[in-house]
Structure 1
């Protein structure tokens, strides 16, 4: 396959998936990884893709985080499923961190009747839990109106003042080799602060994010205790091999 055809195929794959790594592209194009790297360098030079560690992504992926409302409406059933699995881990009397992710937000209906304290940077989480049994602690700092969340240095310092029994966070990508990645330095900073100050951290990720490496690598895999996912056993196995507990339907049903 000549470069013009490879170019079209590469752009189609990245447009559909948001990003792709060299190995996957080489397999789908039936060419060498060296050729793919050269092609990606040319496409990046034209501004059509952005190079990442091990692959490339759509240029618009680095423009900042997507607003909360569009993310909330995407894959809603999957997010509710992951939230139900994660919520079953929470015990009365605990302090938990909840980040501003749309999947983590889906925990709210499952924890309203629990006698717990929630520390969060998410305005939708606060709104959803008002009037419930949950005690709420909202981080202070700069408000991102699109994400409906508080970010920045002051918010991170606020989180560092507290210790949580569990943190529930989301990411834009997780790799068994390179750990957690995000599209935004601000969100990465909040997630890192929660991870560092929680006894146990739960990462809520649908199958599409497993094996993905995004714009900014910000935490290693050994900082996570449990991966909550809808991925099949084969896709989850590399993370099990790294010593990570993987909570999915099979474990829920004791299979």
Structure 2
């Protein structure tokens, strides 16, 4: 495939998804990751997209430091499908953990009328649920302005004081070979703390993150009990995860 055709497909994919990684583009274009990186560098230099670590995103999302609101809008339909399935797992009276992931945030709209308690480190989750039937418990500590979340030792100590029926956590990448990975050690530590103090752990992960390894590998697949993803996940990947003993809902 020549450069012009690759350029057209890359820009079309970035426009549709908001952000995309090198591995995904290499598979789509049936070319090497080295070629994709070179193409992304050229397109970035031309101002047609914004280069990120491991991929690219729409310029319109990047111009405002990729705010949390923008991130939640990426793959919104997939995330809403995942969260509808996740909400079905929550019973009246449950105590649940919710981390600061953009997918987990979209769970709020489906639990507003449930009489449950949410323990979270996410400021957007708190803001979204304040006027709902949900009782909200915010873990205290240092505020990460970019992520609009609270991280650090104080958060972990706060979470450890509670026992949740269920924890809902996000992830930046998951693979059968290397387990769970994230862009940030801070987010990873919050997720592992929540998992350690919950009866059941649900991993909310859109299909674009399946079989993707990110910067920081932080936990084995045994960290979670159920993986909830969307219907865009390939049958081959779904079957391989189930054969590996993972309970998967999509």
CA deviations on 1:103-160 (whole Å, 9 max, x unpaired) are 1111112111111110000111111111322111100011011211111111111111
CA deviations on 1:65-112 (whole Å, 9 max, x unpaired) are 953111012121111111111000001111100011111111112111
The equivalent residue for 2:146 is: 146
The equivalent residue for 2:54 is: 57
- Gaps of at least 5 residues in structure 2 are 15-19, 39-52, 58-64
Alignment of 1:1-255 (within 5 A): 17-20=20-23, 28-29=30-31, 57-58=54-55, 67-230=67-230, 231-248=233-250
Structure 2: distance between partners of 1:174 and 1:143: 27
Q: Is the 8 A contact 1:180 1:221 kept in 2?
A: yes
Q: Is the 8 A contact 1:66 1:147 kept in 2?
A: no
- Gaps of at least 5 residues in structure 1 are 30-35, 44-55, 249-255
CA deviations on 1:192-243 (whole Å, 9 max, x unpaired) are 1111111111111111100000000001001111111112332222221221
Q: How many residues align?
A: 221
CA deviations on 1:176-195 (whole Å, 9 max, x unpaired) are 11111000111111111111
Structure 2: distance between partners of 1:104 and 1:223: 17
Structure 2: distance between partners of 1:82 and 1:220: 22
Q: Is the 8 A contact 1:92 1:115 kept in 2?
A: yes
Structure 1: distance between partners of 2:130 and 2:176: 37
Structure 2: distance between partners of 1:110 and 1:59: 31
Q: Is the 8 A contact 2:229 2:248 kept in 1?
A: yes
Q: Which shows bigger deviation, 228-237 or 122-131?
A: 228-237
Q: Is the 8 A contact 2:96 2:119 kept in 1?
A: yes
After TM superposition, what 4+ stretches of structure 1 lie above 6 angstroms from structure 2?
A: none
